[in-house]
Structure 1
Amino acid sequence: MSRPINVYSEIGKLKSVLVHRPGGELENLMPDYLERLLFDDIPYLEKAQEEHDQFVEILESKGIEVLYLENLAAESLLNDKIKMDFIDQYLDEANIKSKTAKVKAKELLLSLPTNKELIDKTMAGMQKVELPQFEKSSLTDMVESEYPFVIDPMPNLYFTRDPFATIGHGISLNRMFAETRNRETIYAQYIFEFHPRFAGKDVPKVYNRDESTRIEGGDELILSKDVLAIGISQRTDAASIEKMAKTIFDQGMSFKHILAFDIGEYRKFMHLDTVFTMVDYDKFTIHPEIEGDLVVYSITNGSNGLEILREEDTLENILCKYLHLDKVHLIRCGGGNLTAAAREQWNDGSNTLTIAPGEVVVYDRNPITNKLLEEAGIKLNSMPGSELVRGRGGPRCMSMPLEREDI
C-alpha cells in the first residue's frame, strides 16, 4: 500500500503539495492589532490572491498536484457528529470569554449552508457585529466592547508550512509559538484523522499539538533520508527538538542524525527556513548574518538515550560531514553585502521552495540573490510577492510538501 506522505528530502522532485489561498482572514487585519496577529503590514487581499494563484500555476505547470487546506478540511467533516465536534473544539480554543457570544457564534457557524463556507468562516474570524441579535448583557461583554472580534482571524494560514510539517511518512502536528496560531493546527488534526486520503493510512505523528513546548514547520528541514535540520529559534524551543528526536528514534524512522541550528530568537529570522534552505544536492541559500554566531548541535540515538554534541566547525564542514559531500556551495543572500542581505532576507530571498534538484520557486523582488542562484546553476521560477511578502514568508513557507520523489 502506497503511503499518502513521502518526504525524505528538501530537493526531491515535488509531486504533491498543500497550500492555502489567502481569504477573508486578511480583510480582518487591523492596524491596532497587527502585532497580536503576527503581522507587520496589511496585504491587499485581491492582489495577494492573484500572486498566490500565480504561485499555484507555476507548480501545476510542473505537473505538481496542488491541494488546498480549506478543501481538505471541509472534506474531513464527513458527518454531523464530526462537524459538531469540530465546531465545539474550534469555539473552545477560540478563547471566547462571553458565554453569550459563544452561543451566538455557534449559531452563526451552524447557519452556514456548506462545509466549505464553515471552514472559510472559521479561518476568517468573526466580528461582533456579525453575531445574530447580540446584546451586551454581561460585565464581560461590556468591558470588552472595544475589541471588534469575538474570534480572531487566522491571517498566517497561507503559510501552510508551519502548523504541521511532513517528515518521512509522518507528520509533526505542531504546538505553535503564538496563541493566535495554535488554532491553525485544528485543521490538520481533522484532516489526518478523518479525510479519506489519510485516515487509516499509517501516518505516524512525531510531535503533537498538545505538547507544552513550541515548534513550527518553518524550522524543520529534511536534508536527506538520514539527516534532519531543526532550528532553535523565536518559534521553536530546544526542548521540543529533544522530544521530537526521541520520538523519531523510538519509532525507528530512517533518520540517524538531527542537527539543531541555534539561529537566535529574532523576529527578522523567525524560522530556520528564512535564513537557510537547500536548493540542490550540494547547494544552499543562507543569510550571511547568521554564519558568524551560528551554533550547531548534533543529536544521535545512543545506547543510553540521546547523545548531543556541540559541533566545533564551520557550517560548510558540518554539512559535508553529515551529507557525505566533498564540498558545498553556500549562496549568500544579497551576495554578502550587509545592506542588500538584510533587505532581501527580510523579503524572503533565502526562503526558496525547491521543486526538483537545482530548480526552485522564488519571489522576483530579490534580484541580487536571484542572480547569484542563477550563476550557481539553479533554475528559477519567479513569482510576484509584493503583497504575500507582507506576512514575512516566501515560497517555502507557503507550501507543505506531501510527496516528493526519493533521491
Structure 2
Amino acid sequence: MPSTGADTEVGRLRTVMLHRPGPELRRLTPRNNDRLLFDGIPWVDRAQDEHDAFAQALTDRGVEVLYVADLLREALALPDARRETIDDALAQPHVGERLAGRAREVLDDLADDDLAQVLIAGLRHDELSARRPARRPGVVSALAAPDDFVIDPLPNLLFTRDSSAWIGDQVAVTSLAMPARRRETSLTRAIYRYHPRFAGTALAYEPELEHVEGGDILLLAPGVVAVGTGERTTPAGVERLAGRLLRSGLAHTVLAVPIAQERATMHLDTVCTMVDADAIVMYPNVADTLTALQVCLDDDGVLRVDPPRPFLDAAANAMRIDRLHVIDTGLDPVTAEREQWDDGNNTLALAPRVAVAYERNSETNARLEAAGIEVVAIAGSELGSGRGGPRCMSCPILRDAVT
C-alpha cells in the first residue's frame, strides 16, 4: 500500500497533517493581528481544546494524525534541514546583516525541539538579547523595541492545507502570497525533503514560483484539478501549476476558476468543497456565476485554454459525469452569507458522504444531512478567528482511491 498520495477530495482519509496551535498564537496582539492575518485575538487555550477535539474526531474515524511540529523537529536532525530553515528565517528584509549574524549563533546552538519552536513561534529582540547580548549593536538592534520580532511568528501555520497539497503521488509545496505567511513553506519543504517518512517525494511545485496556495486547489476527480485564482493564487501561478500537472501526467484537465477578490472568498475552498464523488457543497450566491477555463495539452504539448463556461458544466464535463450535484448553504441570502463568512462551505471529507464541518453552521449542516451527507460537527469559535475551516486546517497525506 502507498503511504502518501491523493487523487480526489473524498477518498477515505488515511493520513493527515495538522498543526496544533501553540505559542505562536500567544504572540498575537491588537497591534499586530491585522498584519498577521487574524480578525481578532484568539483565546489560545480554547483554540487548543477545539483543535484537540478536531484531531480526536479524525482519530476516532481511523485517520492517522501527523503534527507539523513533530515532523519538523525530526527533520531538523539533519544538518541541511537546520541550515536551510535558519537561512530562510534570517533572510527577511527587516533583519539586516549584523542582527542575522548574532541570531544565527543562537539558533545554531538550539536543540532540535527548541529550534522547531522558535521557527514556528518566532523570536523577539529581548529573547535574543537574553541569550546573546549585543555588545556592539547594529542599527537594527539599536532602533528595535524589546518586543519587536527578529523572526516573526507563524500563527497561520494552523491552516496546513495552504502551504502544501498532495496531487497524485507528488506534493505541491506552494508559494504563499501574503508576506506574513511566506516562511511557512520553508518549514513544509524541509519536512518533505528531509523527514525519512517522505524520502524520495517528488515536488509538483516549489515556493520560489508564482503564487499558488493549497486552499485554491481542488481535486475534483482523478486527473481533474480545479485551481481558483483571485486574492492569493495568481493567473501566472495557475498556468505554471497546470503545465506541470499536465506534462507530468498528474492531471489530464485543469480548470482555472476566477473567484471574487473578497476576504470571504479568499480561496476556492471557501466557495465550494467536495463531499462525494459527484457532489459539492457551494456558496449559493456564486453557484450561477462561477466560471472556469479548461486547460489541457494540445497534440504539440502546448497548453490549450478554452473559453470560460459555467463552472458546474465545465467540472462535470472534465469529470465525465452527467452533472455535479450541488448542495447549497441556505435559501436565505443573509444566512448563506453569514455561514459563508464562518466557513460553512469549508468541509473536510473523511470518506464519500462523510464530512467534518463547524457545528455553528447549523443551516449548512442541516442541508448536508438532508442530502444524505453524514456531518461530523466540531467546535470552532476560536479556531475560526483566522478565517479557516476544517479543510483549511488539514493537509491530507494519504487517501484511498474512490471505487
State the 1:135 CA deviation.
Answer: 6.5
| Aligned match of 1:215 | 212
State the 1:3 CA deviation.
Answer: 4.2
Worse overlay, 128-137 or 2-11: 128-137
Closer, same or farther in 2 for the Cα pair 1:135/1:274, shift >3 Å?
farther
TM-score scaled by length of structure 2: 0.94
| Aligned match of 1:347 | 342
Q: Quick check: 1:176–1:215 contact (8 Å CA) kept in 2?
A: yes
Code of the aligned partner of 2:16: V
| Aligned match of 2:62 | 63
Structure 2 residue 325 is the aligned partner of structure 1 residue 329? yes
Code of the aligned partner of 1:266: E
What value does the CA root-mean-square deviation take over the aligned residues? 1.8
| Aligned match of 2:28 | 29
Greater than 6 Å deviation, 4+ residue runs:
none
Worse overlay, 321-330 or 256-265: 321-330
| Aligned match of 2:368 | 373
Q: Quick check: 1:277–1:350 contact (8 Å CA) kept in 2?
A: yes
Partner Cα separation in structure 1 for residue 247 and residue 157 of structure 2? 31
Q: Quick check: 1:136–1:142 contact (8 Å CA) kept in 2?
A: no
* Among candidates 259, 262, 265, match of residue 269 of structure 1: 265
* Among candidates 287, 303, 310, match of residue 291 of structure 1: 287
Partner Cα separation in structure 1 for residue 12 and residue 124 of structure 2? 42
Partner Cα separation in structure 2 for residue 329 and residue 183 of structure 1? 38
Query: SS at the partner of 1:32?
Result: coil
Code of the aligned partner of 1:350: N
State the 1:111 CA deviation.
Answer: 4.2
Partner Cα separation in structure 2 for residue 135 and residue 52 of structure 1? 43
Partner Cα separation in structure 1 for residue 331 and residue 319 of structure 2? 24
Query: SS at the partner of 1:342?
Result: helix
Closer, same or farther in 2 for the Cα pair 1:135/1:47, shift >3 Å?
farther
Partner Cα separation in structure 2 for residue 252 and residue 161 of structure 1? 22
Q: Deviations over 1:311-337 (max 9, x none)?
A: 334x4333332222233321112x132
**1:196-275 superposed matches below 5 A:** 196-200=196-200, 203-211=201-209, 213-253=210-250, 255-275=251-271
Q: Deviations over 1:243-292 (max 9, x none)?
A: 11111122233x21111111122221110001110001221111122234
Q: Deviations over 1:74-96 (max 9, x none)?
A: 111234x3254135323333434
| Aligned match of 2:184 | 184
Code of the aligned partner of 1:156: N
Query: SS at the partner of 1:182?
Result: coil
TM-score scaled by length of structure 1: 0.93
Structure 2 residue 312 is the aligned partner of structure 1 residue 316? yes
| Aligned match of 1:75 | 74
Partner Cα separation in structure 1 for residue 135 and residue 164 of structure 2? 38
Q: Quick check: 1:15–1:403 contact (8 Å CA) kept in 2?
A: yes
Partner Cα separation in structure 2 for residue 340 and residue 175 of structure 1? 34
State the 1:4 CA deviation.
Answer: 3.4
Partner Cα separation in structure 1 for residue 82 and residue 276 of structure 2? 46
| Aligned match of 1:129 | 126
Code of the aligned partner of 1:215: V
Identity of aligned residues (%): 36
State the 1:146 CA deviation.
Answer: 8.0
Code of the aligned partner of 2:286: I
Closer, same or farther in 2 for the Cα pair 1:263/1:6, shift >3 Å?
same
State the 1:100 CA deviation.
Answer: 4.0
Closer, same or farther in 2 for the Cα pair 1:330/1:319, shift >3 Å?
same
Q: Deviations over 1:95-124 (max 9, x none)?
A: 343444323433433443x31221112100
Partner Cα separation in structure 1 for residue 3 and residue 188 of structure 2? 14
Q: Deviations over 1:36-67 (max 9, x none)?
A: 11111111111101000000000000111110
State the 1:293 CA deviation.
Answer: 3.4
**1:95-134 superposed matches below 5 A:** 95-112=93-110, 114-132=111-129, 133-134=133-134
Closer, same or farther in 2 for the Cα pair 1:92/1:108, shift >3 Å?
closer
Q: How many residues align?
A: 398
Q: Quick check: 2:19–2:69 contact (8 Å CA) kept in 1?
A: yes
Code of the aligned partner of 2:154: M
Code of the aligned partner of 2:205: Y
Closer, same or farther in 2 for the Cα pair 1:87/1:285, shift >3 Å?
closer
**1:131-210 superposed matches below 5 A:** 131-132=128-129, 133-134=133-134, 137-145=137-145, 148-200=148-200, 203-210=201-208
Q: Quick check: 2:348–2:357 contact (8 Å CA) kept in 1?
A: yes
Code of the aligned partner of 2:278: D
